[in-house]
Chains A and B, each alone.
Chain A
Amino acid sequence: MPETLTVLISGTVVLLTLALGIIAVVIFQQRKVFLIQQENLDKLAESEKRYRRLVKLSPFPLVVSVNGRMQFVNDAAVKLFGAVSEEELMQRSLHDYVQSDHERPELNRLPHLLDQDMELSNYKAQLERVDGQIIDIELTSAPISFDERDARHIVIRDVTQQERQKAELIAAKEKAEQSDKLKDAFIANISHEIRTPLHIIIGYSNLITNELVGKLYPEMDTYFQAIRRGSQRLMRTVEHILNISSIQVGTFQVRPEEVRISDRVEELVQELRSLAQRKSIALNFASECPSALLYADRYCIDQAVSNVIDNAIKFTKRGEVNVRLFQIDRRVCIEIADTGIGISPEYLPKVFSVFSQEATGYTRPFDGLGLGLSLTKRYVELNRGSITVKSRKGKGSTFTLQFLADSIEEQEQRGSHVEYMPVEVLHRPESDVAGRKTILFVEDDEETQEFMATQLSREYNLRIAATAHSAWTILESDTIHLVLMDLSLQGDEDGISLTKRIRQDQRFAGIPIIAVTAHAFPKDRIQSLEAGCNAYFPKPFRIEELKAAMQSILTSGSRSES
């Protein structure tokens, strides 16, 4: 056989074998890969079947839509839409079910949003069910690929019940707010209605006592003092009830300012000293930190400290009440220790509870509503402070009020000076004319008008107006040096509004105004001062104090508060 033929045949055989080998390898390897893939596909199909079943039976209504046409819905969706079958539900476009609402145009954007390639989360809308019922829904939607098409996966939640409950809650809240407002108004009215007659009672009893000095029988003087004490006690009780109510509903406003606490406590001790003296009890005061400053509401501090001292005197038959002021780190402590009846260990935990008293019933030895300490605790806490008590029955009690002292940094931040001034001068009288000054008294209560006229007419020229309108007429026709302003007036305009109007008018802006009112809440004080009053005297007040303040303002222009 020729060599060429041998080469040809052997070469052909070799190459053919190689070719067939390659083909065999490809078939074998690809089959292996294909089988693995098939196995994966089978698993995937099984998983998809499982998932589909899961989705189908999901309690959450699910819809897959392509351009608004529903391609897949589960059983829960069929139920939600009120359809009998998937086919019935899918007959209409999803957009056809979306309810348009002219009053709520934001709901009408849903079809437009569903056509866009964006995710929606908890979108609120309304659907019209197959049976025509309108339901509130919340839907979450995301773009997905479904059968190789751009689709949207939509999860719908029926929130009709929640929306109804929400509406009911809002209505209830509005009703509660309205009730709160009514309650506030009621409390304010009660306060006003009690304070005004009390003011008259206290004022006239003072007037009678002063006018008839030396002319009264000794026992009559005692009667008048009893009237005064009774009125003051009633005043105090009313104030306590109103304040605790105001704190409880959250309308009590705290107005912090710098308070030199040592001076303030000393003043309070001085005021209560006569009470202690009547019971032959020594009331001592010692301050270890005379320059300590608090950033707190002065009214709250006054009420808290005087309540505790007052209680100490009340429950001490003999011995002494010691008031000590000291500082531990940044805490200023006011310690009030008495040698009184003390508190039993059983009652001690309840001592700050509202309306709680250790002894109750017809035979209780001490008067009061049981509000004082409860209020004190709230006043203290409203000013970043705390109150503690230690007591032994029959040996006495020690109350300690702790407040956070005002740091130098805090003072600098507020840019204030450390000197305590009651209130800065806001307005001065334009002129100091010779003779009597003319006072405008704006007051709608006739008895109060009469009382004040009696008290002031000897020293001042007096003009009286019951309404804002008549007050304005007097202001325009006369030269008024000072206005005594009641906040509650007859007519459309109240005292606050009139004060603001006076302050805005350049002709009268300089006239000092003193608020004289039975609206005695802290917020009333804030409101009247913010409106432009130079001073605030809640009824009932001591006429001497008012006169002193008037004199002070008319001569030096200083602002004061009762």
Chain B
Amino acid sequence: MELIRQIFQYSTAFSTILPFIAGIWLWKRLDIGLRILTWSLFVILLFDLAAMFLALMSKSNAFVLNIYAPIELFLFFLVFYLWSESVNVKRSLLATVILFFIFWLLFWRVLDIKEGMYDLVLTVESVLFVFFSVIALFSALNNDKLPVVKNPIFWVSSALLIYFAGNLFVFALIKELSKEIPEQGKYIWIIHSLLNLTKNLFFLGGFLTCRKHSPFSSAVRSSS
């Protein structure tokens, strides 16, 4: 069981490499949103490696996760913001992100950034991303010029929806569960690893849709 957990833990940390490489490979055909996503994957990869390294050293990686959450949120927000053509959606996204940062700063001062807080921050982030993803998915629905499976927005939004919807309860209850069942609690993290792997595969799918779009076509942009 421990072996399976470790396999998942390592593979999930390195799974980010796949879409990142695809992003770099197809860089010239990517629009600004997917280019930012590529850079985001690079940042995520660094954070994942840092978190994994700390975990291997049997040290708390809560600090990394606390810092990672707002950075990840900002980068993905930027992607959605750039894809969105509706002024109202752009304003909603902006307001939500600003509120999140206020919330994050407040908890920074109140809670211990090293040990506490990350579960709450990640939970709030998950709720927001579920919200962003659903909006982006339904905007992709309106694109009648491109099949949905050829629309990178669909892949990226689906990836984030699956990842954050699946991890919402994990992020919310992981700390509590670790207290109740310290040994078994860490196996729950397998869910996160599995979903993270799925997310990265979906990202890869999103990048691969651009193989034939050169550059990122207006048809794709109009769906956001």
- The residue from B145, B147, B176 contacting A4, defined by CB atoms under 8 A apart: B176
Q: In the complex, what distance in Å separates the CA atom of A29 from the CA atom of B158?
A: 15
Whether A190 sits at the interface, judged by CB under 8 Å, is no
Question: Which residue of A is nearest B176, CB measured?
Answer: A4
Contact B173 A18 (CB under 8 A): no
Give 1 or 0 for each of B165-176: 1 = CB within 8 Å of chain A CB.
111111011001
Contact B145 A37 (CB under 8 A): yes
Interface hit among A20-28, A109-117, A452-460, A539-547: A20-28
- The residue from A2, A15, A22, A37 contacting B169, defined by CB atoms under 8 A apart: A15
Q: In the complex, what distance in Å separates the CA atom of A20 from the CA atom of B158?
A: 8
Q: In the complex, what distance in Å separates the CA atom of A29 from the CA atom of B173?
A: 35
Chain A residue numbers with a CB within 8 Å of B141 are: 26, 29-30, 33
Contact A19 B162 (CB under 8 A): yes
Question: Chain B's nearest CB lies how many Å from the CB of A30?
Answer: 4
A5, A15, A26, A31: residue with the most chain B Cβ atoms closer than 10 Å? A26
Contact B165 A18 (CB under 8 A): yes
Whether B222 sits at the interface, judged by CB under 8 Å, is no
Chain B residue numbers with a CB within 8 Å of A7 are: 169, 173
Q: In the complex, what distance in Å separates the CA atom of A36 from the CA atom of B145?
A: 10
Contact B177 A26 (CB under 8 A): no
Q: In the complex, what distance in Å separates the CA atom of A30 from the CA atom of B148?
A: 6
Q: In the complex, what distance in Å separates the CA atom of A96 from the CA atom of B137?
A: 54
- The residue from A12, A22, A27, A34 contacting B191, defined by CB atoms under 8 A apart: A12
Q: In the complex, what distance in Å separates the CA atom of A22 from the CA atom of B133?
A: 10
Question: Which residue of A is nearest B181, CB measured?
Answer: A2
Question: Which residue of A is nearest B138, CB measured?
Answer: A26
Question: Chain A's nearest CB lies how many Å from the CB of B114?
Answer: 24
- The residue from B137, B168, B181 contacting A5, defined by CB atoms under 8 A apart: B181
Residues A19 and B166 in contact in the complex (CB < 8 Å), given A2-B180, A8-B173 = yes
Give 1 or 0 for each of B130-165: 1 = CB within 8 Å of chain A CB.
100010011011111111110000100010011001
Question: Chain B's nearest CB lies how many Å from the CB of A256?
Answer: 77
Whether A422 sits at the interface, judged by CB under 8 Å, is no
Contact B144 A34 (CB under 8 A): yes
Whether B188 sits at the interface, judged by CB under 8 Å, is yes
Contact A30 B166 (CB under 8 A): no
Residues A19 and B161 in contact in the complex (CB < 8 Å), given A12-B166, A26-B154, A30-B140 = yes
- Which size bracket describes the interface of B in this complex? 20 to 34
Q: In the complex, what distance in Å separates the CA atom of A9 from the CA atom of B181?
A: 15
Residues A27 and B149 in contact in the complex (CB < 8 Å), given A19-B162, A37-B144 = yes
Whether A394 sits at the interface, judged by CB under 8 Å, is no
Contact B137 A26 (CB under 8 A): yes
Question: Chain B's nearest CB lies how many Å from the CB of A22?
Answer: 6
Question: Chain B's nearest CB lies how many Å from the CB of A7?
Answer: 7
Chain B residue numbers with a CB within 8 Å of A2 are: 177, 180-181
Contact B168 A12 (CB under 8 A): yes
- The residue from A5, A15, A20, A27 contacting B177, defined by CB atoms under 8 A apart: A5
Q: In the complex, what distance in Å separates the CA atom of A33 from the CA atom of B223?
A: 13
Question: Chain B's nearest CB lies how many Å from the CB of A388?
Answer: 80
Residues A33 and B144 in contact in the complex (CB < 8 Å), given A4-B176, A7-B173, A19-B161 = yes
Q: In the complex, what distance in Å separates the CA atom of A34 from the CA atom of B176?
A: 46
Q: In the complex, what distance in Å separates the CA atom of A36 from the CA atom of B181?
A: 54
How many pairs of A and B residues are in contact by the CB < 8 Å rule?
82
Chain B residue numbers with a CB within 8 Å of A19 are: 130, 161-162, 165-166
Question: Chain B's nearest CB lies how many Å from the CB of A56?
Answer: 28
69-88 of chain B: CB within 8 A of chain A: none
Chain A residue numbers with a CB within 8 Å of B142 are: 33
Q: In the complex, what distance in Å separates the CA atom of A16 from the CA atom of B169?
A: 10
Q: In the complex, what distance in Å separates the CA atom of A458 from the CA atom of B50?
A: 147
B165, B173, B177, B181: residue with the most chain A Cβ atoms closer than 10 Å? B165
Chain B residue numbers with a CB within 8 Å of A33 are: 141-142, 144
Q: In the complex, what distance in Å separates the CA atom of A23 from the CA atom of B188?
A: 25
Chain B residue numbers with a CB within 8 Å of A16 are: 162, 165-166
Question: Chain B's nearest CB lies how many Å from the CB of A35?
Answer: 9
Whether A11 sits at the interface, judged by CB under 8 Å, is yes
Question: Which residue of B is nearest A17, CB measured?
Answer: B165
Contact B137 A4 (CB under 8 A): no
Residues A8 and B134 in contact in the complex (CB < 8 Å), given A30-B141, A37-B144 = no
- The residue from B130, B134, B170, B180 contacting A12, defined by CB atoms under 8 A apart: B170
104-137 of chain B: CB within 8 A of chain A: 130, 134, 137
Chain A residue numbers with a CB within 8 Å of B177 are: 2, 4-5, 8
Question: Chain B's nearest CB lies how many Å from the CB of A206?
Answer: 106
Q: In the complex, what distance in Å separates the CA atom of A8 from the CA atom of B148?
A: 32
Question: Chain B's nearest CB lies how many Å from the CB of A17?
Answer: 9
77-107 of chain A: CB within 8 A of chain B: none
Q: In the complex, what distance in Å separates the CA atom of A26 from the CA atom of B161?
A: 13
Chain A residue numbers with a CB within 8 Å of B167 are: 12
Q: In the complex, what distance in Å separates the CA atom of A23 from the CA atom of B180?
A: 35
Q: In the complex, what distance in Å separates the CA atom of A36 from the CA atom of B137?
A: 20
Contact B169 A31 (CB under 8 A): no
B148, B162, B184: residue with the most chain A Cβ atoms closer than 10 Å? B148
Q: In the complex, what distance in Å separates the CA atom of A361 from the CA atom of B147?
A: 101
Q: In the complex, what distance in Å separates the CA atom of A4 from the CA atom of B119?
A: 15
Q: In the complex, what distance in Å separates the CA atom of A176 from the CA atom of B75?
A: 89
- The residue from A4, A18, A22, A30 contacting B143, defined by CB atoms under 8 A apart: A30
Contact A11 B168 (CB under 8 A): yes
Q: In the complex, what distance in Å separates the CA atom of A27 from the CA atom of B140?
A: 9
- The residue from B144, B145, B158, B191 contacting A23, defined by CB atoms under 8 A apart: B158
Chain B residue numbers with a CB within 8 Å of A30 are: 140-141, 143-144, 147-148, 154
32-57 of chain A: CB within 8 A of chain B: 33-34, 36-37
Contact B169 A34 (CB under 8 A): no
Question: Chain B's nearest CB lies how many Å from the CB of A509?
Answer: 88
Contact B173 A15 (CB under 8 A): no
Contact A22 B140 (CB under 8 A): no
Q: In the complex, what distance in Å separates the CA atom of A23 from the CA atom of B168?
A: 17
Chain B residue numbers with a CB within 8 Å of A18 are: 165
Q: In the complex, what distance in Å separates the CA atom of A446 from the CA atom of B130?
A: 123
Q: In the complex, what distance in Å separates the CA atom of A7 from the CA atom of B169?
A: 8
Can you list 15 A-B contacts with CB-CB less than 8 angstroms, sorted by A residue number? A4-B173, A4-B177, A5-B177, A5-B184, A5-B188, A7-B169, A15-B168, A16-B162, A19-B130, A19-B161, A26-B137, A27-B154, A30-B147, A34-B147, A34-B148
9 closest Cβ contacts across the A-B interface?
Answer: A11-B169, A19-B165, A37-B144, A30-B148, A15-B165, A8-B173, A16-B166, A19-B161, A8-B169
Taking Cβ atoms with an 8 Å cutoff, the residues of B that contact A are 130, 134, 137-138, 140-149, 154, 158, 161-162, 165-170, 172-173, 176-177, 180-181, 184, 188, 191
- Known A9-B169, A16-B165; 16 more pairs at CB < 8 Å: A4-B176, A5-B181, A5-B184, A8-B170, A11-B173, A15-B168, A16-B162, A16-B166, A19-B130, A19-B162, A23-B137, A23-B158, A26-B138, A26-B148, A30-B140, A30-B147
